[in-house]
Amino acid sequence: MRRALVVFLVPLLLGAPPARAADTVVAETLDNGLRVILLEDHRSPIVSSQVWYRVGSRNERRGATGIAHFLEHMMFKGTPTHGRGQFARIVEQNGGQDNAFTSQDVTSYFVNIAADKLDLVIELEADRMHNLLLDPKEIESERQVVIEERRTRTEDDPGGFLGEEVASIAFKAHPYGSPIIGWQEDIARITPEEIRAFYRSYYVPNNAMVVAVGDFRAGEVLERIKRRFGGIPRGAAPPPVLTVEPPPNGERRVVVRKQAELPIVYLAYHVPNQRSNDAAPLEVLSTILSGGRASRLYRYLVYERRLALEAGGDYSYFSIDPNLFWFWATAMPGQTPETLEKELLAQVERLKTEPVTDEELRRAKNQIEAAFVFQEDSIHRRASLLARFEVIGGYAQKDQFLAKIRAVTAADLVRVAGSWFPEDKKNVGILLPKP
């Protein structure tokens, strides 16, 4: 113990510089279109390496929903160089962790590992970007895994089931109305040829970005990425998503019966994406409504009135296209969905006429800023934030986010509530428990 303390103190006594989190991003687009974003962070000898593809359920056509998520599963099924299951096995054998997710707009793959293993990750990711096997037998086997995932996360989850139903009526034209995991019938039908065509169209360097944060020298890592990814040929430009959701003409409503313990009520309104000046006020509004136990909906519906078991609101700031602002509540035993809907709508109307208090506004801004700043403590989250901002217009927007949040006023919140939560154009979902 004593020796360890001496070893620890020597660098300090000798004036060695402390480990630091760098702020200078190194970014470059390779000749084949691959976007590379690197940030040195020398606080720990680890690295988060992430590959983001600009494809999600938003890019799917009717009849082939869920194909982006299906392909995410297949990305772990091997290449001629690294066979079935080898990617995850190699990462784990070298002390790393890997995972992936598919969203409406992107599919992301990440590895968190010791910094001296970064070359290994670069090799593995470049290999599966261009050489995925997509064996028909593996596709059939994984199909059952995806179907089971849909059952557990949607079919057997009352909240997930109702959210899927509301999204499907809220969007008549735009693919945001389809579930990310896909409709059951599509998952069962999708062919290996369709998955291969999807892979060839979207898993190309000019539709991807490599983001890494950690204990490395950015210039050296950039050269390694160029050597390994630079030889992958640029693909044809993926087909753009041109669909624009037409404005709603009136209220839309869905009532479903499902095995569940309690009724659930969802309200959803069409709102703009982050390109709008109303994006920051909407982000603040969602925190005021559902940012912890002091938030408005929790305090009023759960704590004071005891009408709901849980309640909240949500806005998708990083959505590429205009999306939905959600309000929701799960009824307490003995309460009716009619009462919950009425009270939720009363809170929506209150936002249009009554400015939030200074305390509510200050608390929401502080919560957003604290959560944003605390993400800098994690190299994984630092990398993810850079990628998310890059997707919506450029990683440099990250440095402007907090200024936009700080500038929001109580009057802004009244204005956006009045503009985007019209009584006659809401989307309502009610889940009634089956007897």
User: What burial class does residue 100 get, using C-beta atoms within 10 Å of its C-beta: 0-12 exposed, 13-18 middle, 19+ buried?
Assistant: middle
Tell me, yes or no, whether 146 and 285 share the same domain.
no
Per-residue pLDDT reduced to its tens digit, 34-64? 999 999 999 999 999 999 999 999 999 999 9
The contacts of residue 93 (CB under 8 Å, 6+ apart) are none
One-letter amino acid of 365 = K
Chosen domain end from 229, 264, 282: 229
Is beta strand 427-433 parallel, antiparallel or unpaired with respect to 21-29? unpaired
Report whether 131 contacts 75 (CB < 8 A). no
Q: By residue range, what is the domain housing residue 362?
A: 252-433
Radius of gyration (C-alpha) of the chain in whole angstroms:
24
Half-sphere exposure of 419 (CA within 13 A, CB side): 14
pLDDT at 17: 44
pLDDT at 22: 61
Helix pair angle (192-202, 67-74), 10° resolution: 90
Instruction: Answer whether residue 401 is part of any domain.
Output: yes
Instruction: Answer whether residue 41 is part of any domain.
Output: yes
One-letter amino acid of 79 = T
- The pTM (predicted TM-score) of the whole model is 0.93
pLDDT at 291: 83
Instruction: Answer whether residue 276 is part of any domain.
Output: yes
Nearest of 292, 291, 339 to residue 315 by alpha carbon: 291
Per-residue pLDDT reduced to its tens digit, 346-364? 999 999 999 999 999 999 9
Report whether 317 contacts 274 (CB < 8 A). yes
Coil, strand or helix: which one is 228? helix
Tell me, yes or no, whether 372 and 308 share the same domain.
yes
pLDDT at 29: 98
Nearest of 299, 320, 359 to residue 312 by alpha carbon: 299
Instruction: Answer whether residue 234 is part of any domain.
Output: no
Chosen domain end from 197, 229, 261: 229
Tell me, yes or no, whether 148 and 275 share the same domain.
no
Tell me, yes or no, whether 216 and 352 share the same domain.
no
Q: Which two tokens stand for residue 93?
A: 């054998």
Tell me, yes or no, whether 181 and 95 share the same domain.
yes
390 sits in which H/E element: helix 379-391
Weakly modelled stretches of the chain, pLDDT under 50: 1-18
Per-residue pLDDT reduced to its tens digit, 63-81? 999 999 999 999 999 999 9
Instruction: Answer whether residue 5 is part of any domain.
Output: no
Tell me, yes or no, whether 147 and 282 share the same domain.
no
Tell me, yes or no, whether 272 and 190 share the same domain.
no
Instruction: Answer whether residue 9 is part of any domain.
Output: no
C-alpha distances out from residue 37 to 40, 157, 245, 278, Å = 10, 38, 33, 28
Q: Which two tokens stand for residue 313?
A: 């609101």
How many helices (DSSP H) and strands (DSSP E) are in the chain?
16, 11
Tell me, yes or no, whether 268 and 355 share the same domain.
yes
Q: How far is CA 294 from the centre of its chain?
A: 25
Tell me, yes or no, whether 277 and 373 share the same domain.
yes
Instruction: Answer whether residue 243 is part of any domain.
Output: no
CATH label of the domain that carries residue 107: 3.30.830.10
Tell me, yes or no, whether 45 and 130 share the same domain.
yes
Nearest of 49, 33, 28 to residue 382 by alpha carbon: 49
Tell me, yes or no, whether 305 and 220 share the same domain.
no
Residues annotated as catalytic (active site), given as ranges: 72
Nearest of 367, 350, 341, 368 to residue 413 by alpha carbon: 350
As for how many domains the chain has, the answer is 2
Q: For the stretch 116-144, what's the b/e string if a residue is b when 16 or more beta carbons lie within 10 angstroms of its beta carbon?
A: ebbebbbebbbbbbbebbbeeebbeebbe
Nearest of 91, 95, 93 to residue 128 by alpha carbon: 91
Tell me, yes or no, whether 57 and 146 share the same domain.
yes
Residue written as tokens 């976007």?
35
pLDDT at 21: 58
Instruction: Answer whether residue 73 is part of any domain.
Output: yes
